[in-house]
Amino acid sequence: MSLAATDVLTHLEASGFRARAVPAGRASDLASSLDAWRRSRALDETFDRHTLYAFRFTPPEDLPAARSLIIVSNPQPQVRLTFCREGRSLPVTLPPTYVWRRPDAEVRAALLEVLEPEGYSVVRAVLPVKLLAVHSGLARYGRNNLCYVPGFGTFHRLVAFYSDLPPADDPWQEPLMLERCHDCSACRRECPAGAIPEDRFLLRAERCLTYHNEDPAPMPGWIDPAWHNAIVGCMRCQLACPENKSQRQWVEAGPEFTAEETDLLLQGVGFDDLPGETVAKLESVDLQDCADILARNLCLALGQAAHGTTGE
Ligand code: B12
């Protein structure tokens, strides 16, 4: 076995990704960081319970001898979906990372291309990947709490894997914020929900529009319907960010839905009852699992599109 972790990172880079590897034991540092936030009661309890308790900080049973954690950044565009109502074409944005243009399976395949011939394997790690990316030196935090990778801005998806390949070294470092954020508050000013507070760096996740429009529960009354700008999630803090200047025009054309299809989706017709063609369009942008939020979110987003405030 002569493969070095640096060869793996170089291979990923040649495949269009960026990556770093740290010792597998660093997962416990991630756990300590979250625990510290819990102890200081900075995390909204419902958000924490529903979302962050899913993390697993020990190597998976199918790879107990894991030696490294490989964190990978995968560039992702915005996608423009087009709907049709009353004879008008209405563009609605699907933000980066929801559409898995190059799904996590592709990252895994790229890793296995070099690891498997040398007898190594990988298993997906369910960890706070931003924190891992920043500690590894792959990314920096922006004030909006998103991770910035040089050349990709925030337009990328993060995924982590455990491997039995030993890491070359331990590049672990304290989390860094982008220099630019020291005297910029563009994201904070753009967030109407107050999710990016003045008195602390940590996002108020329970205020984030995304937290609520990803959830099928009724939308809280304090959210103004005019804030919606995407089929799911939100683009405000990313589009307002000067650091994303070169990325924000990266929009790929996605499926176009006919007036009949738009009506069916707005009526909330179940996926089993939609025409095969419509389902295929939804699947092409990975929305097949969003049945419970699609009609509501589409209605909100089209309300904005009709007034010319969404899309490009
Ligand atoms: C839960 C979650 C959410 C929640 C909560 C977000 C949050 N910030 O916690 C909600 C639903 C709101 C959400 C929204 C979005 N999400 Co989200 N989400 C996640 C998830 C599952 C976990 C995030 C997490 O660990 N939160 C816990 C908090 C404690 O961690 P943290 O945000 O890293 O906080 C650290 C910093 O605040 C730091 N810190 C604190 N003080 C200071 C001070 C300084 C100076 C510094 C430098 C650091 C620092 O310490 C904290 C950790 O200890 C990850 C996937 C994953 N497995 O990790 C995706 C993930 C973070 N989301 C992602 C995306 C794309 C989004 C959205 C942009 C989607 C959209 N278009 O609407 C929005 C953006 C909202 C925002 N501005 O952050 C991507 C981010 C990619 C990137 N480029 O960074 C991820 C990584 C998914 C993925 N696989 O790519 N998300």
Q: What is the pLDDT of residue 227?
A: 96
Q: Is 157 in the pocket of ligand 1 (CB under 6 A)?
A: yes
Predicted TM-score (pTM) of this structure: 0.96
List pLDDT tens digits, range 192-231: 999 999 999 999 999 999 999 999 999 999 999 999 999 9
* C-alpha torsion sign, points 141, 144, 147, 149: negative
Q: What is the pLDDT of residue 1?
A: 58
* C-alpha torsion sign, points 286, 292, 297, 299: positive
| Distance from Cα 280 to the centre of ligand 1, integer Å | 30
Which DSSP symbol is given to 232? S
Beta strands 78-85; 251-256: pairing state: parallel
Residue nearest ligand 1's atom 90 by CA:
157
Q: Is 205 in the pocket of ligand 1 (CB under 6 A)?
A: yes
| Distance from Cα 199 to the centre of ligand 1, integer Å | 18
Task: Enumerate residues 6+ apart whose C-beta is below 8 A from 198.
Answer: 188
List pLDDT tens digits, range 65-124: 999 999 999 999 999 999 999 999 999 999 999 976 899 999 999 999 999 999 999 999
Residue 125's nearest CA partner among 33, 12, 11, 24 is: 24
Whether pLDDT at 310 is above 60? no
Find residue 200's DSSP bridge partners: none
Q: What is the pLDDT of residue 101?
A: 80
Name the residue of 145, 177, 244 whose CB sits within 8 Å of the most ligand 1 atoms, as the mutation to test its pocket: 145
List pLDDT tens digits, range 232-264: 999 999 999 999 999 999 999 999 999 999 999
Residue type present at position 25: G
| Distance from Cα 145 to the centre of ligand 1, integer Å | 6
Identify the band that residue 288 occupies on the pLDDT scale cut at 50, 70 and 90: confident
The distance of Cα 204 from the centroid of its chain, to the nearest Å, equals 17
Decide if 83 contacts 262 (C-beta within 8 A). yes
| Distance from Cα 85 to the centre of ligand 1, integer Å | 35
Residue nearest ligand 1's atom 25 by CA:
128
* C-alpha torsion sign, points 160, 47, 284, 234: negative
For residue 131, CA distances in Å to 66, 135, 136 come to 20, 6, 8
Q: State the number of CA atoms in the 13 A half-sphere of 145 facing the CB.
A: 15
| Averaged pLDDT, 271-293 | 92
Q: State the number of CA atoms in the 13 A half-sphere of 216 facing the CB.
A: 8
| Distance from Cα 146 to the centre of ligand 1, integer Å | 6
Distance CA 278, CA 217 (A): 25
Decide if 13 contacts 6 (C-beta within 8 A). no
Decide if 202 contacts 42 (C-beta within 8 A). yes
Decide if 114 contacts 8 (C-beta within 8 A). yes
| Averaged pLDDT, 284-291 | 88
Residue nearest ligand 1's atom 48 by CA:
175
Whether pLDDT at 311 is above 60? no
| Distance from Cα 117 to the centre of ligand 1, integer Å | 35
Whether pLDDT at 283 is above 90? yes
Q: What is the pLDDT of residue 312?
A: 37
- Output the 3-class SS for 171-192: CCCCCCECHHHHHCCHHHHHCC
Q: What is the pLDDT of residue 303?
A: 86
List pLDDT tens digits, range 129-159: 999 999 999 999 999 999 999 999 999 999 9
Within the chain, where are the H helices? Answer: 5-14, 27-39, 45-51, 104-115, 129-136, 186-190, 209-213, 236-239, 259-266, 276-284, 291-306
Distance CA 265, CA 296 (A): 9
The tokens for 163 are 């491997």
Does residue 290 or residue 195 have the better pLDDT? 195
The distance of Cα 238 from the centroid of its chain, to the nearest Å, equals 12
Identify the band that residue 291 occupies on the pLDDT scale cut at 50, 70 and 90: confident
